Amino acid sequence: MGVATFLVAVLVGILLLSASASWPPTPGPRIGGGHKISQATVNPPVPGEDKTYWREEAQETLRRQLNLTNTVRKAKNIIFFLGDGMGVGTITAARILKGSQTGRWERESLSWEDFPHSAHIKTYNTNSQVVDSASSATAFLCGVKGNLWTVGVDANVLQVNCTDALNETFHTDSIAKWFQDAGRSAGFVTTTRVTHATPAGAYAHSANRGWEDDAIMVKTGQDPDVCDDIAEQLILKDPGNKFKVIMGGGRQRLLPQSVIDVEEGVGGYRLDGKDLISMWKSDKDSKGVSSAYVWNREDLLALDTANTDYLLGLFAYSHMDYLLDRKPKMDPSLPEMTKAAIEVLRRDENGYFLMVEGGRIDQAHHENKARKALTETLEFDEAVQMALAMTDPLDTLIIVTVDHAQPLTINGYPNRHNDILGVGDVSGVDNIPYTALLYGNGPGYDVTEEGKRPDPSKLNLTDSNYRQTAAIPQSSSYHSGEDVGLWVTGPHSHLFTGVYEQNYIAHALAYAACVGEGLTFCDERKSNGTEGREP
């Protein structure tokens, strides 16, 4: 070997040794967080979580899984829980927040996470990769995907095309109507206006989810005498006028301008002079059925639900208040509304369909107010627990799912048991702390006069109106398009064990409940001669 070759070999060896010594890269200083971690400041583990702990935990989970059995029988009732905007990040963060209150922290579970079956749902629609609540409601309630901002119509109807929306061949009926057609009851509960996007999917057919009353239609250049507004469809048309339970907010859309609201002291929105609340009451009186209209918590809790056939509860002029802003005497909780709804609907011996929406989860996210979004999620969790306690898993299918996600992420490397709503880490670039929760876009975008990020450790993060930082400025956050979760328990819950299109949900539920025009469990029992015999 020549001298030159020897020197090259030595140099290469030195470079290789140097490279191997610096890979992985030498950790830099860590100031409360960041991706550079030194041995002196590495996060301490939670005591007791050694290999024995994790092996025993996994074995117990395996034993539970091995003991699962499918409930193959007709679903007499379906309770459909919809967490609006409740993406995976929201669920994880809410679970940790709940765990901080119970002492279980990251090991905590939300009620539906213990359900035996779950799935991923693809949420795109016919003209957008990212959906809104109306087009997604059309998918999961009606079994058909439609266009952005439309509700209860298929892809032939574009936004604001009133003429096409009148074509009944383009209309999509919901599973709520399928239950009614089968001689069973239906109803819904929401924390938004009862004419808002998600509940509208159960009863309305509209080219624009915003056409909640005739005034907004006139304002947008539409003729309300041609296309009925959503509030009219709820109160005056099938299937809305047959709902046994309607609860939420939104009195403004049902009252004329001449009628002063009982709480707000201002008139309603309607230009046509129709008092749809009074018309609802008159309709029920004319049919000789027992009905109740309530507008506050005290009246709801005092209601004799055992002798009420129809219940209309409107607890706010617009959307119901966030849980953190709610007036205890005036505003019922979502679990209380769920309880009353089940008590009314279960009077039907043939069964019922109930949709319960945690609608303000999404609206808090739109404001980048994570504390409000997560507390709304935990109230939603309590509503699911209420339904589980009041129903029989052998005849009631309970499903929890999501219409779309919001751009909420959990960031950095915060310690275990870190406050999920607090500071989670420090940037290794600008050395400024950042919160564990951040948004991809929305009104939380902010910079100081010096062009730097504000330091959240110097702000009041316990304020319910604190906005987590957003990467892109928007007046209201835009939804995100990733898959969402679905969890289900009860008869035929095993129909959800994979990755599905969002419109599959309605068809699988209809199969289990023996409603609708598609394949049903009861039809299969007839064909194989097992009808009338329980497995």
Residue 290: per-residue pLDDT: 97
Strands (E), 152-226: 185-193
Sign of dihedral through CA atoms 386, 311, 199, 277?
Answer: negative
Contacts of 221 (CB under 8 A, 6+ apart): none
Residue 68, domain member (yes or no) = no
In angstroms, what CA-CA distances link 132 with 55, 120, 201?
A: 42, 18, 12
Residue 52, domain member (yes or no) = no
Sign of dihedral through CA atoms 148, 153, 155, 159?
Answer: negative
Residue 329: per-residue pLDDT: 86
Q: Show binding-site residues for Mg(2+).
A: 84, 196, 198, 357
Residue 41, domain member (yes or no) = no
Query: What dihedral angle (degrees, nearest 10) is formed by the CA atoms of 325, 329, 334, 339?
Result: 170
Q: Write out the H or E segment, with its range, that includes residue 80.
A: strand 77-83
Residue 235, domain member (yes or no) = yes
Rounded Cα gap, residues 341 and 356, in angstroms: 9
Blockwise average pLDDT, block size 10, the chain, 535 residues: 45 40 36 45 84 95 94 97 98 98 96 97 97 98 98 96 95 98 98 98 98 97 96 98 98 98 97 98 97 98 98 98 93 98 98 98 98 98 98 98 97 93 93 95 93 93 96 96 98 97 98 95 74 52
Q: What's the per-residue H, E or C state across 424-456?
A: EEECCCCCCEEECEEEEEECCCCCCCCCCCCCH
Q: Show binding-site residues.
A: 84, 196, 198, 357, 362, 366, 403-404, 479
CATH number at residue 235: 3.40.720.10
Residue 457, domain member (yes or no) = no
Q: What's the per-residue H, E or C state across 350-380?
A: CCEEEEEEECHHHHHHHCCCHHHHHHHHHHH
User: Concatenated DSSP letters for 454-489?
Assistant: P-GGGS-TTSTTPPPPEEEE-SSPPPB-S-EEEEEE
The pair of structure tokens assigned to 420 is 């999920």
In this predicted model, what pLDDT tens digit does every residue of 167-202 receive, in sequence order? 999 999 999 999 999 999 999 999 999 999 999 999
Residue 532: per-residue pLDDT: 52
Residue 23: per-residue pLDDT: 34
Residue 416, domain member (yes or no) = no
Residue 528: per-residue pLDDT: 65
Residue 509, domain member (yes or no) = yes
- Give the residue numbers spanning the domain of 210: 77-406+479-527
In this predicted model, what pLDDT tens digit does every residue of 294-322 receive, in sequence order? 999 999 999 999 999 999 999 999 999 99
Q: Write out the H or E segment, with its range, that includes residue 61.
A: helix 51-66
Residue 446, domain member (yes or no) = no
Residue 133 annotated as catalytic:
yes
Count of domains in the chain? Answer: 1
Catalytic residue among 118, 133, 136, 185: 133
Rounded Cα gap, residues 398 and 253, in angstroms: 31
Q: Write out the H or E segment, with its range, that includes residue 410.
A: strand 408-410
Q: Show binding-site residues for Zn(2+).
A: 84, 362, 366, 403-404, 479
